[in-house]
A and B are shown apart, each in its own frame.
Chain A
Amino acid sequence: MTTTQHHHAPITTPEVGGIGHNVRRIEDDRFIQGAGNYLDDIVLPRMLHMVLVRSPLAHATINSIDTSAAEALDGVVAVVTGEMLAGYNLAWMPTLSGDTQAVLATDKVRFQGQEVAAVIATDPYVARDGAELVMVDYEPLDAIVNPMQGLEPDAPIIRDDLEDKADNVAYEWEAGDAGATAEAFATADRVVTIETHYPRSHPSPLETCGVVADVSPVTGQATIYMTSQAPHAHRTVFALVAGLPEHNIRIISPDVGGGFGNKVPVYPGYVVATAASLVLGAPVKWVETRTENLISTGFARDYYMKGELAVTAEGKILGLRVDMVSDQGAFYADAQPTKTRAGLFHIVTGSYDYPAAHVTTKGVYTNKAPGGVAYRCSFRVTEASFLIERLVQNAAYELGMDPAEFRKRNFIQPDQFPYHSPTGFVYDSGDYETALDMAMDMIGYEKLRAEQARARAEGRLMGIGIASFTEVVGAGPSGEYDILGLKMFDSAELRVHPTGKAILKLGVKTQGQGHETTFAQIVAEELGIPATDVKVVHGDTDNTPYGLGTYASRSTPTAGAATSMVSRKLRSKAREIAAHLLEASPEDLEWEVGAFHVRGSPESSVTIQEVAFAAYTNHPPGMEAGLEGVHYYDPPNMTYPFGSYIVVVDLDSGTGEWKVRRMVAVDDCGVRINPMIVDGQIHGGLAEGFAMSNMQWITFDEAGNCIGSNFMDYLVPTAWETPRFELGETVTPSPHHPIGAKGVGESATVGSPAAYVNAVIDALAHIGVRNIDMPVLPDRVWQAIRDHAE
């Protein structure tokens, strides 16, 4: 990996390890030595094992469920059905988007893999044997496997459980200004159109989802170990669903082996195991198999998008119109802010400046698994970014312009920030042309174009694809963003102990992003306490302040800001204590990371550790003892990370295969706290973008059978096929974030798919190819070449 940098020197020493230091990941010691503690590592006395019986059909009425053979099996303790749950009012539960979802099906099944019954046994093998013995009599119904089918007038109604539901529409929503957009299109010289399907994929974290529910029928205390990206929000949902008093619910999300949004929803297995534990008076463990994870849990994308760009002959964009239909599966179980039904899809105007845009969206129920928000996608920004970056490339072709030049003519300029987008966002900061120039420089853009001209003359196919994306992350300001009414602030609680060592408790929850290191570095930056002296605690609702969790690249923009703010609160108090120790007035003290000294006499100084000791041993009269605090941070705005990616591919016209020759990624996520961790996040996202563009999708046959229910059919690239990445960075701080940071966890997943696809299309643009849907499989490339051969 090569890295080109433009950042500022750290203000702390490497020993302190504040912002800008590549502090080695503190959590890795336990992970690489096998001392992590994942959900399946949790074993409690008398623990029972649960296995779910799932529907083999995508759409069917349930005539009857016969559990007698399963119950008769030696070792089976109980078989739970939806009918039994209905007795506790638990057969249905709310989704995070305000819809309802069946916990165990009572009336009919609505997707293949839906939860129908649960077998609880003394060991997991017997539980599986028992699950095979549960006899369900189904009456098959026609399955709806794409949203267009679902919108047909005579389509069967999937959600006949909803009162008065006469169609399969889950939601409709629009953004922007239809009238102004129509005017822009009326004056355009050209309209460039693209229709594309962003296919269904799955984040497939290596650790599948699971729970160990331990509910005491005596005290009512419910301790629920759960693979959760949002333990506090989940606790509240549990309180609402199960009617358990919230102070008696303790959610513990132990080490989480990857989330990517897959561990945001509440799954039926969690609820059934908890109810079973309450009824049986013993802990109940449920851990999904790989297939269960792939066929039933939060998928990603599945958007059918039509985009139209109005442009002038000179290459200026005048307006954008987008119509989108999304396949939501059987339940609307995205986690979307209440006010924005298609999430933040309306960021689709991208990095470009034009006055008008109009976005219409429609979510449709189908007989497929619910979900949609997952896979490192900040609320549907991935689809949006893909669409606009594909459109601008095609616009350049239609105008006979270079795609880089077309972008530069339309970029929002640095002096336009804060920039008000036509769909209502206020971009905080950006410098798009600098990032694109850096990427072009790194890859040698002009030379590559010259090579491409020669290659075409020789009949060789190569392509160069660009994506200059803008992301919107860090949900979010409480006026605009909530999940089920819970405002999307986040929190940090900091205690500095007498010996100067600290404990930082967060409302967010890492799944591999390195929070235990990054957040300690923020404290190090603000207080001068070495990062390795700060223990980060998260994931246990009894021991951390309330927060909405980690997803949508929101942890640094929200909890990172909260960490900064609480550290500053402590620094103010530390100043008072230091003044007391130095017998000076607080205003006369100067702070240099880690110590206060009296202005003009540097020898008269106390360290933060000395201050901490004094906070418990010698605090000023009239002041509260201790050095601790909590901060709930309500961000004033979202943050808008951006970047420019360039991919070079070589294409085999015989087989349609394409190989990435080079991939350059310039990212700007504002100030980088731990640059090494940021690079790691970007690598992961670039690999995922490659996966989606090259090989990865979940397909269904006409009956709604899921093709892609295991890793032989659902493809996750290995180190072998993943391209080598060359990273560059620019730093444009967020003006409203306390340390100028923006989120970065999803940038590369959002930005890179278009770059790869654009490169393949670019290889074929001269023969007239303008679109190949993802994944850009060899047979699709081969077909496109055939279709465009003279």
Chain B
Amino acid sequence: MYPRAFDYVAPETKQEVLDILAERGGEVKVLAGGQSLIPMMKLRFASPGTLVDINRLSGLDSIDIQNGHLRVQALARHSDVVRSDVVAAENDAMASAAPWIADPLVRNLGTLCGSVAHHDPEGDWASVMLACDAEVVAESRDGGERVIPIAGFLVDMFTTSLQPTELVTEVRVPRYRRGGGNYQKLERKIGDYATVGVATHLELDDAGSISNAGIALTSVYAHNLKVTDAEQALVGNAPSVELFAEAARIAAAACDPTSDVRGSAEYKRDVVRVFTERGLTASLAAAQG
């Protein structure tokens, strides 16, 4: 690969990273897994003046339970999520989505935090995080730690509310008592971004009614889309085939896909409907199982 020239620093402590971000700000890019940044540099679409490589930091690669949340730290790789017993036990939507991210080679390097920070509208993790009401934890030298709800973090495609001086240290999702989730993805081959992706998450109360619901869509809107109307249609009701079909109709109406080589807008919209139904059915089965 032949990118434009750039400076490269690989500090060993978080403090040094935060210092560099504080001092050089906008011209610096954090290098995590490099699976989005490096391809853009290769094509010269991105030409950062400085790369600050965070891969030598220690103590930043955990996936664990902290304060009622399942947390994924900045250097936890997609493949760590795939293999994590904690994820498997705690969050079905994440466990279901992880094997759909990219291919095994990319998963060995790419990070969940990097994916959320990058906010590619075709990225899968942002949808899962929207469905699960995640929070992003960011840190800067002068501002300290900040907790940002995911909906406020994801501003628009390739745009987040992260400041140039901030490092994402973790992404976390609340634990739930009785619930289930799922991720449906249509891709043309392994390693492909989604033609359509649908993340679903359901929580049930003791009576078996839906107490919390999350639905978010990938690749069918200018950014990952949380379908609040469909979520609200579910909450407070007993799950049923008709109810799920109604939520699926709302989701299909809410998206705004474009026609391209992957298919017509009409087609993608219908797949959103099919996937939302399938995803909710699978989420319910997981919640009841």
The bracket for how many chain A residues form the interface is 20 to 34
Q: Does A129 sit at the interface, judged by CB under 8 A?
A: yes
Q: Does B191 sit at the interface, judged by CB under 8 A?
A: yes
Contact A779:B103 (CB < 8 A) given known A715-B189, A718-B191, A720-B189: no
Q: How far is the CA of A782 from the CA of B188 in the complex (A)?
A: 14
Q: Does A33 sit at the interface, judged by CB under 8 A?
A: no
Q: Which residues of B contact A655 (CB under 8 A)?
A: 186, 271, 274-275
Q: Which residues of A contact B268 (CB under 8 A)?
A: 779
Q: Which residues of A contact B188 (CB under 8 A)?
A: 695, 715, 777
Report yes or no: B2 in contact with A778, Cβ–Cβ below 8 A.
no
Q: Does B49 sit at the interface, judged by CB under 8 A?
A: no
Q: Which residues of A contact B2 (CB under 8 A)?
A: 124-125, 128, 289
Q: Does B263 sit at the interface, judged by CB under 8 A?
A: yes
**Per a CB cutoff under 8 Å, which of B5, B186, B261, B264 touches A783?**
B264
**Per a CB cutoff under 8 Å, which of B43, B262, B274, B278 touches A779?**
B262
Residue of A699, A710, A717, A782 with most chain B CB atoms under a 10 A cut-off: A782
Report yes or no: B271 in contact with A654, Cβ–Cβ below 8 A.
yes
Contact A707:B261 (CB < 8 A) given known A128-B2, A718-B189, A720-B189: yes
Q: How far is the CA of A655 from the CA of B103 in the complex (A)?
A: 22
Q: How far is the CA of A718 from the CA of B4 in the complex (A)?
A: 31
Contact A721:B189 (CB < 8 A) given known A654-B278, A782-B270: yes
Q: How far is the CA of A782 from the CA of B4 in the complex (A)?
A: 44
Chain B residues 241 to 289 lying within 8 A of chain A, measured CB to CB, are 261-264, 267-268, 270-271, 274-275, 278
Q: How far is the CA of A710 from the CA of B191 in the complex (A)?
A: 13
Q: How far is the CA of A715 from the CA of B44 in the complex (A)?
A: 22
Q: Which residues of A contact B190 (CB under 8 A)?
A: 718, 720-721
Residue of A289, A655, A657 with most chain B CB atoms under a 10 A cut-off: A655
Chain A residues 718 to 740 lying within 8 A of chain B, measured CB to CB, are 718, 720-721
Q: How far is the CA of A302 from the CA of B260 in the complex (A)?
A: 20
Chain A nearest Cβ from B236, distance in angstroms = 28
Per DSSP, chain B at the interface is loop
Report yes or no: B261 in contact with A699, Cβ–Cβ below 8 A.
yes
Chain A nearest Cβ from B42, distance in angstroms = 9
**Per a CB cutoff under 8 Å, which of B5, B263, B275, B278 touches A778?**
B263
Report yes or no: A712 in contact with B267, Cβ–Cβ below 8 A.
no
Q: Which residues of B contact A695 (CB under 8 A)?
A: 188-189
Q: Does B12 sit at the interface, judged by CB under 8 A?
A: no
Chain A nearest Cβ from B197, distance in angstroms = 12
1/0 per residue, CB under 8 A from B, across A689-722: the answer is: 0000001000100000001101011011110110
CB-nearest residue of chain B relative to A720?
B190
1/0 per residue, CB under 8 A from A, across B174-197: the answer is: 000000000000101111110100
Chain A nearest Cβ from B85, distance in angstroms = 24
Chain A residues 118 to 159 lying within 8 A of chain B, measured CB to CB, are 124-125, 128-129, 132
CB-nearest residue of chain A relative to B1?
A289
CB-nearest residue of chain B relative to A124?
B2
CB-nearest residue of chain A relative to B268?
A779
Tally of B interface residues using CB under 8 Å: 25
Chain B nearest Cβ from A212, distance in angstroms = 18
Q: Which residues of A contact B274 (CB under 8 A)?
A: 654-655
Q: How far is the CA of A487 from the CA of B46 in the complex (A)?
A: 51
1/0 per residue, CB under 8 A from A, across B124-137: the answer is: 00000000000000
Q: How far is the CA of A656 from the CA of B44 in the complex (A)?
A: 36
Chain A nearest Cβ from B217, distance in angstroms = 15
Contact A779:B267 (CB < 8 A) given known A124-B2, A128-B2, A707-B261: yes
**Per a CB cutoff under 8 Å, which of B192, B263, B275 touches A715?**
B192
Chain A nearest Cβ from B183, distance in angstroms = 15
1/0 per residue, CB under 8 A from A, across B56-75: the answer is: 00000000000000000000
**Per a CB cutoff under 8 Å, which of A129, A132, A289, A777 touches B263?**
A777
Residue of B5, B191, B268 with most chain A CB atoms under a 10 A cut-off: B191
Residue of B193, B267, B268 with most chain A CB atoms under a 10 A cut-off: B267
Q: Which residues of B contact A289 (CB under 8 A)?
A: 2
Q: Which residues of B contact A777 (CB under 8 A)?
A: 188, 262-263
**Per a CB cutoff under 8 Å, which of B4, B186, B193, B264 touches A657?**
B186
Q: How far is the CA of A664 from the CA of B278 in the complex (A)?
A: 33
Chain A nearest Cβ from B269, distance in angstroms = 11
Q: Which residues of B contact A708 (CB under 8 A)?
A: 261
Chain A nearest Cβ from B257, distance in angstroms = 11
Q: Which residues of B contact A779 (CB under 8 A)?
A: 262-264, 267-268
Q: Which residues of B contact A718 (CB under 8 A)?
A: 103, 189-191
Chain A nearest Cβ from B204, distance in angstroms = 26
CB-nearest residue of chain A relative to B260?
A707
Report yes or no: A129 in contact with B4, Cβ–Cβ below 8 A.
yes
Report yes or no: B189 in contact with A782, Cβ–Cβ below 8 A.
no
Chain B nearest Cβ from A313, distance in angstroms = 39
Q: How far is the CA of A335 from the CA of B274 in the complex (A)?
A: 47
Q: How far is the CA of A655 from the CA of B270 in the complex (A)?
A: 8
Q: How far is the CA of A132 from the CA of B2 in the complex (A)?
A: 12
Q: How far is the CA of A779 from the CA of B186 in the complex (A)?
A: 11
CB-nearest residue of chain B relative to A652?
B274
Report yes or no: B192 in contact with A712, Cβ–Cβ below 8 A.
yes
Chain B residues 117 to 176 lying within 8 A of chain A, measured CB to CB, are none
Q: How far is the CA of A695 from the CA of B192 in the complex (A)?
A: 11
Chain B nearest Cβ from A764, distance in angstroms = 16
1/0 per residue, CB under 8 A from B, across A771-790: the answer is: 00000011100110000000
Residue of B43, B261, B262, B274 with most chain A CB atoms under a 10 A cut-off: B261
Q: Which residues of B contact A715 (CB under 8 A)?
A: 188-189, 192
Q: How far is the CA of A105 from the CA of B183 in the complex (A)?
A: 50
Q: Which residues of B contact A291 (CB under 8 A)?
A: 43
24 A-B contacts, Cβ less than 8 Å apart? Answer: A128-B2, A129-B5, A654-B271, A654-B274, A654-B278, A655-B274, A695-B188, A699-B261, A707-B261, A712-B193, A715-B188, A718-B103, A721-B189, A777-B262, A777-B263, A778-B186, A778-B263, A778-B267, A779-B262, A779-B263, A779-B267, A779-B268, A783-B264, A783-B267
5 extra interface residue pairs, beta carbon distance < 8 Å, beyond A289-B2, A654-B274, A779-B267? A125-B2, A708-B261, A718-B191, A721-B190, A782-B267
Spell out A's residues near B (CB within 8 Å).
124-125, 128-129, 132, 289, 291, 654-657, 695, 699, 707-708, 710, 712-713, 715-718, 720-721, 777-779, 782-783
The 10 closest A-B pairs by CB, nearest first: A779-B263, A654-B274, A779-B267, A720-B190, A128-B2, A695-B188, A715-B189, A721-B189, A782-B267, A125-B2
